Amino acid sequence: MAELFIEQAKQYAETRPSYPQELFEFIASKTPSRDLVWDVGTGSGQAARSLAGIYKNVIGTDTSLKQLEFAPRLPNVRYQQTPPVISMGELEQTVSAQSSVDLVTIAQAMHWFDLPAFYQQVKWVLKKPHGVIAAWCYTVPEVNDSVDSVFNPFYTVDSDPYWEPQRKLVDDKYMSIDFPFEPVEGTDNTGPFKFVAEKMMDLDEYFTYIRSWSAYQTAKAKGVELLRDDVIESFKRAWIKDGHNQKVVKFPVHVKIGKVGNV
């Protein structure tokens, strides 16, 4: 998985949305203590930055050293590159001891994981019974009717052959992903619960976001340019239709959240 993001790590860091503060406040309201977070698949630290403002300490791990290079350096955040598979002993050395973590977060990454092995580690490292796991994904960007009418066939037809199969879990808003945890206080299910992330973009930034896709890089490696001249022209016509270059781009965020219980 990490190899898919090596080439576009800088683009990824620059163009991916920051997650809404409401998301983190919702998650934090479900953790009785706020001492330690393990942010798994932290990438370039989009979630770690916000978590660091709420929790005493954050450990961000990722298999991609290249992405970690672009993560924000903060006094209470420690980043650690890990191999794709780690033992419980390595988990204790690189992350934390058994039953010591208040919250495990996974932002736009859990669809890549070996879930049975990962969940075993989550249940080992979380405090019992109220330690929380929150995993979220964001689905395709929404701009306006004009731009979205160009984007939708571009995403569902042109780029579809180049996405990894795991992407379907994101398209499904994590509704079908295995999630063996108990509902947190105040909820009667584990979600997904919806939030919205927003990012101001001009057309060039919008194209840079598309070029940061793993599907774009996969297509490029196979000699296919998804952003052909005719596609770019279609996007340009749609983008300038309202007379504004800067636009609010909305990314629907879908979060699964649960507590570990007495395992």
Q: 123-171: per-residue pLDDT in tens?
A: 999 999 999 999 999 999 999 999 999 999 999 999 999 999 999 999 9
pTM for this prediction? 0.90
Identify the domain containing residue 39 by its residue range: 1-142+166-198+251-259
Q: Is 224 inside any structural domain?
A: no
Summarize the confidence of residues 14-40 as an average pLDDT: 91
155: left (phi over 0), alpha (psi -120 to 50) or beta: alpha
Q: Is 19 inside any structural domain?
A: yes
Dist CA 165 CA 169 (whole Å): 8
Q: Is 206 inside any structural domain?
A: no
Domain count, the chain: 1
Q: Is 112 inside any structural domain?
A: yes
Q: What is the pLDDT of residues 175-203, one digit of tens each?
A: 999 999 999 999 999 999 999 999 999 99
User: What's the CATH number where 100 sits?
Assistant: 3.40.50.150
Identify whether the C-beta of residue 197 lies closer than 8 Å to the C-beta of residue 16. Answer: no
Q: Is 244 inside any structural domain?
A: no
